[in-house]
Amino acid sequence: MGFPGTWMTQSESMVYRVVPKCACSTIGQIMFYSDHGQFFDGDIHDATSGMHKWAIDASQPRITANVKSHKSYAFTCVRNPYTRILSSFFDKICGIQRNGKRYRGNMVPQLIQRYGIEVGGDDGKQEFDQIASFRRFLLFTRDTIRWKKPMEPDIHWSAMSGHISTFIVNGGRYDHIFFTEKFNEGMQTVLENTDTPHKVDLKSIPRFNESEGHGPKRAHPVEAYFDDLSMHLVYEIYKRDFQLFKYDFENPGNKMPLGEVDLDEVHAKLKD
């Protein structure tokens, strides 16, 4: 299986396991900048050179050798499951993607038909009942994850622990797992533990939120989208994420973690 979703700087200063919807665009651009002294011109997910990625065949032997020998500082980043699934809904379900089309072709029309979801019209900008539609999307998410119907779960809403575990199961070990909600603090720890060709000043780094503007703006506070039933669904889907990454299941309005990640616990619980 190898190390899917793993990126590495060309200088092999650091190794990063991508978790979708967890500041991955910004982290990728910081990695690129730390090697080249400039940002990638475009969405870092489209970069096919200047960086090692598991999706690039030629990079796979380099990534494998590095990770298996733990040659470089390895890290990943997590996010509150409530805000992550909301972000996925507004970006991937309601939004028009950067190619000018709906995400995954006929998936959104299928959701409208099967689950009664509204997405704000053809351009995603019309008024609609965001709360009702989001809760129906949660049912779809649960169906994909639990029964793999009507489709396989998508990387943007499958559990963070699932992404993070592939790195461990195949022989990798993380040195650091930090929170999107404490981004500068977490990324600074990475930079302090790595020797990069170009120095990175986090205070001057822009945020590369490539999904921003794809879909409608969230009209309500986070907690308004989650009643008892939807909280139960979220817990069913992301129980392990709440537990391992110390997020507050009881209060959807509290996006901050309740404690630090215990790396030994993560490695012990995700290794099989």
Instruction: Check pLDDT > 70 for residue 214.
Output: no
Average confidence (pLDDT) over 192-214 = 86
Res 211: pLDDT: 60
pLDDT in tens, 136-164: 999 999 999 999 999 999 999 999 999 99
SS3 content of the chain, % helix, strand, coil (to 5): 45, 10, 45
> 14 — phi, psi (to 5°)?
-155, 155
Quote the strand ranges of the chain, DSSP E.
6-9, 14-17, 51-53, 73-78, 176-179
pLDDT in tens, 98-123: 888 899 988 999 999 999 999 988 87
**What's the count of helices (H) and strands (E) in the chain, helices before strands?**
9, 5
Strand partners, 9: 51
Task: Give the pTM.
Answer: 0.95
What integer best gives the mean pLDDT of the chain? 94
Token output for 5: 């979703």
Q: Give percent of the chain above pLDDT 90.
A: 87
Give dist(CA 46, CA 271) in Å, integer.
30
The most distant pair of C-alpha atoms in the chain lies apart, rounded to whole Å, by 53
